[in-house]
Amino acid sequence: MTLSQKAFSLLQYPLPQHALSRLSGKFGQCDNPWVKSTLIKAFIKRFNVDMSQALEPDPSAYATFNDFFTRALKADARPLGEGILSPADGTLSQYGRLQAGQLVQAKGHTYSAQTLLGGDTALAEEFLGGSFATVYLSPRDYHRVHMPVTGTLREMIYVPGRLFSVNQATANYVPGLFARNERLVCIFDTEHGPMAMVLVGAMIVAAIETVWSGQVTPLAGQPQRMQFGQPITLEKGAEMGRFKLGSTVVMCFTKPVVFDDYPTGVMVSMGQALGHIDKPTHDSDAPPTSEPMV
């Protein structure tokens, strides 16, 4: 770790993280033509944003910066692969098995599934022996989050917390980063068993939305568990939420996932195949063997 990375991480502790993030939300929602156009043009230039795949490629057509940032893509921009899909465009920062209920954050850093999921012991136990994958969305990426498999929402849990940056420099230094930040935990029941989709807030992230409840964060105070009166089933590849500025998605599966041989830190696209659920061979699945006649 470089000295500048360490300094960047340390400087975030005393910052008024929530106030800065909410202020950015005010600017992002401003519909003054000069303000929003200046922000959008500067952002596209700074982060080299590719608008050719956007459903609306004209930057001036967006009413606010937030509308531009959460822009939709053309229907054929992200073909869906087989198996478990990447939920978003971004960097596949870590993936693998949960070891003793722990997820890998970065080299030398782990954190607990129980803390990530809001402190619920029984819920965390469902994921013991399962797998996880973490996708970091940089500012230039497409910022809608989609379903890696078809699932029916069981419950949604808002967990308050800090708003550290979630880039690699911070992940390398701040312990338990994804389990410290404000986050939205969405538990789905799937054909592969329960799945958790955790949308992690971050510095300057103005809000997190879901397609079934609209904007959820910012909230305050205590964790809040929310269930809905009718089944909410989302198909594989369907949009489930979005970030207003970049952040991270952590997926957890109760079943082991056989991931494709990706190096950590590789860029992935929404809909790209990441792997498949491991289906162990049982004795009952083996073909019958013939016994010698006596």
pLDDT along the chain (294 residues), means of 10: 65 64 70 92 93 95 93 94 96 94 89 94 94 93 95 94 80 86 94 96 78 80 83 96 86 96 95 91 44 32
> Which position among 93, 146, 165, 192 bears the catalytic label?
146
Domain boundaries defined on the chain: 80-261
- Burial of 1: CB neighbours in 10 Å, binned 0-12, 13-18, 19+: exposed
- Helix intervals (H) in the chain: 3-11, 17-28, 33-47, 65-69, 113-116, 121-125, 168-171, 177-180
Q: How far apart are the first and last CA of the chain?
A: 71
**DSSP letter string, 237-292:** T-EEEEEES--EEEEEESS-EEE--PPTTEEE-TT-EEEEE--PPPGGGSPP-PPP
pLDDT for 289 = 37
- Closest by CA position to 163, among listed 105, 206, 106: 206
pLDDT for 19 = 65
80 close to 141: Cβ distance less than 8 angstroms: no
Active site includes 89? Answer: yes
Q: What angle do CA 240, 241, 242 make, to 5 degrees?
A: 150
Active site includes 109? Answer: no
pLDDT for 220 = 66
d(CA 91, CA 186): 21
> Which position among 89, 93, 131, 143 bears the catalytic label?
89
pLDDT for 164 = 79
